[in-house]
Structure 1
Amino acid sequence: MIYLFLSIIASSWIFVIFKLFSKYNVNTLQAIVVNYIVASISGIVAYSEPINLVIISKQDWFYGAMILGVVFISVFNLMAYTTQKNGLSVAAVANKMSLVIPILFGILVYHESTGFLKITGIIVAIIAVYLTSIKTNNDISIKKENVIFPLLVFIGSGIIDTSLKFLETSYVSKNDIPIFSATIFVCAAIIGLSTLTYKAFKGSLKISLKNIIAGIGLGVPNYFSVYFLIKALRHDAMESSTVFTINNIIVLLVSTFAGILLFKERLILKNWIGILLAIFSIILVASSI
């Protein structure tokens, strides 16, 4: 339970930092690339064994981690594009509703429990995610030509959590969790650095110190959000469908209240109903353990 709690803290801190990005006009791409570099270094520092690239590249999880790195930075860019094309609420709903994918994966593939309290809690949690993420009184509307972007965010975000569960269960040993996490971020950083290099050659790249500082501030909690989530998934007391539900819902609650307290955000009635349902869903899912 402590690892789940720590993952929630780290993930919630990421939300706060992202909000500060917009407040201080941080270049998100530059900060994200620095973030991946810092997250990679965090994993390497936390790894107790000598770093041997040949041995690491021969690990069963290596190519899976590489693919995850690509998905990580791709989903980030898709979220940014979805926000531009469809609005922040659409991107938020697509990202957070993706918890359905790893939950179904755990139930169908790993035959996790499907008691009444748990299933009811998961359904209530999904409704809560939708209501809490809507920031206007108007229903979400998406133009037909832009439907693909939130759909890809939904699928990509779900793939990340599902792949973490699959690789953690099947291939990653306890001692390899730090270097496995670091490898994911290294691959994401390489793609990000390639993008920045391309921009530099085009003459459209302007490096700013505040972007670097923002990336450093994001990198450490980003690494630990993944590291502690993997540790939580390894715990025998809770199934992955339970972990993902509780993790996503509490992060949603913490980030919502952080927005109210730190950034003076205002909630509409739908949001407050979503918060109450979120709390209720946690009680239901926790009671099923």
Structure 2
Amino acid sequence: MIYLILSVLASSLIFIIFKLFSRYNVDTLQAIIVNYVVACVSGIIAYSEPVDIVTISKEGWFYGAMILGIVFISVFNLMAVTTQRNGLSVAAVATKMSLAIPIVFGIIAYQESTGILKIIGILIALIAVYLTSMKTPDGVSITRKNLIFPLLVFIGSGIIDTSLKFLETHYVAQNDVPVFSATIFGFAAIVGVFTILYKAILGKFKISIKNIIAGIGLGIPNYFSIYFLIKALRHDSMDSSTVFTINNVAVLLVSTIAGILFFREKLILKNWIGIILAILSIILVAFSI
């Protein structure tokens, strides 16, 4: 349980840092790319053995990590587009609702438990995610033309969580968790660097120390959010459907409370109902273990 709590805290810190980006006018793309570099370096430092690129490239999880890294930065860009075209609430709902994908995968592929308390808790969790993410009384509004973007965010986020579970179960050794995480972030960083080079060629890129510092501040909790999540997934006391449900709902709950305390965010009635349901869902799923 301690790994799950640490993953929730690290992931919630990411949302708080993102909130600070808008306050201090940080270039998100630059900070994100620096963040991936820092997260990669953090994994390499945490790895207990010498880093041998040839040996790592022969690991069973290597190509999966490479694809995941590309998906990581692609989903981030899709989240940005979704936020611009449909609003922040739509992006938040699409991201968090994606927990349904790894939950279904865990139940089907690994015959994970499906007790009545757990099923009710998961359903309540999905409702809580929707209600807590709504920041306007009108709810989510998605035009048919822009429907593809939140749909891709939903699928991409679900693929990330499902792939993490699959790879750590079948291919990642206990001592390889740091370098596995580092490889994912490393490939995300490579894609980001090529993006920056392209922008530089077009004359649309100007680096800033502020953005680099912001990226460093983001990279460390980002690394640990994945590291601790993988550790939680491989713990015998909880199956993946339980871990993903508690993790996603708790992150949403903690980040929402942080928004109230530190950024004086105002919540509407459905947000408060969502918070209550989120707490209830965590209790139900936790007691179903």
Residue of structure 2 in register with 1:122 after alignment: 122
Aligned equivalents of 2:61 and 2:83: distance in 1? 33
Aligned equivalents of 1:20 and 1:78: distance in 2? 21
Is 1:249 matched with 2:249? yes
In the TM superposition, residue 202 of structure 1 has moved relative to its aligned partner by: 1.0
How much is the aligned-residue C-alpha RMSD, in angstroms? Answer: 0.5
User: Which secondary structure state, in structure 2, belongs to the residue aligned with residue 224 of structure 1?
Assistant: helix
Residue of structure 2 in register with 1:13 after alignment: 13
In the TM superposition, residue 141 of structure 1 has moved relative to its aligned partner by: 1.6
Aligned equivalents of 1:139 and 1:43: distance in 2? 40
User: Which secondary structure state, in structure 2, belongs to the residue aligned with residue 55 of structure 1?
Assistant: helix
Alignment of 1:54-65 (within 5 A): 54-65=54-65
Is 1:173 matched with 2:176? no
Alignment of 1:21-32 (within 5 A): 21-32=21-32
1:148 corresponds to which letter in structure 2? I
Q: Deviations over 1:136-159 (max 9, x none)?
A: 000312111100000000000000
Aligned equivalents of 1:261 and 1:210: distance in 2? 25
Is 1:137 matched with 2:137? yes
Is 1:285 matched with 2:285? yes
2:269 corresponds to which letter in structure 1? L
In the TM superposition, residue 201 of structure 1 has moved relative to its aligned partner by: 1.1
Q: How many corresponding residue pairs?
A: 289
In the TM superposition, residue 237 of structure 1 has moved relative to its aligned partner by: 0.4
Unaligned runs of 5+ residues in structure 1 are none
Aligned equivalents of 2:67 and 2:164: distance in 1? 11
Alignment of 1:55-94 (within 5 A): 55-94=55-94
1:170 corresponds to which letter in structure 2? H
Aligned equivalents of 1:278 and 1:266: distance in 2? 18
Aligned equivalents of 2:11 and 2:119: distance in 1? 25
TM-score, normalised to structure 2, is: 0.99
Is 1:152 matched with 2:127? no
Unaligned runs of 5+ residues in structure 2 are none
Aligned equivalents of 2:286 and 2:171: distance in 1? 28
1:258 corresponds to which letter in structure 2? A
Residue of structure 2 in register with 1:225 after alignment: 225
Residue of structure 1 in register with 2:37 after alignment: 37
Aligned equivalents of 1:286 and 1:3: distance in 2? 15
Residue of structure 1 in register with 2:193 after alignment: 193
Residue of structure 1 in register with 2:49 after alignment: 49
Q: Deviations over 1:106-138 (max 9, x none)?
A: 001100000000000000000000000000000
